[in-house]
Amino acid sequence: MLERTSRKNRTEVTFILPADTPSGPVSVVGDFNDWQPGTHTLAPRRDGTRAVTVALPAGGEHSFRYLAAGDYWFNDEGADGHDGANSRLRT
């Protein structure tokens, strides 16, 4: 799931997943972090989910995927669309 908060010249995008599906650490990787795993790792929240927030320039489009333990790549069902194997989001 994606949540967006508009700020002056940027959009803060919060990437949210259930606490245990999939198990183990999960990173969101995309063109906004040069596809580097571990740069944006989802952290547990009090509501039983895990999340990470990334500030992105307003008015852009970005490709991303999630990477879980065991080299398990997957997409976000709540993405704005898909670009080949990647999820897409608009800011």
User: pLDDT tens digit string along 66-90?
Assistant: 999 989 999 998 999 998 899 999 9
Across the chain, mean pLDDT equals 95
What CATH number was assigned to the domain covering residues 2-90?
2.60.40.10
Q: What is the rounded CA–CA span in Å between residue 22 and residue 31?
A: 23
Contacts of 71 (CB under 8 A, 6+ apart): none
Q: What is the rounded CA–CA span in Å between residue 58 and residue 81?
A: 18
Identify the pLDDT of residue 48.
Answer: 92
Ordered by start, the domain boundaries in the chain are 2-90
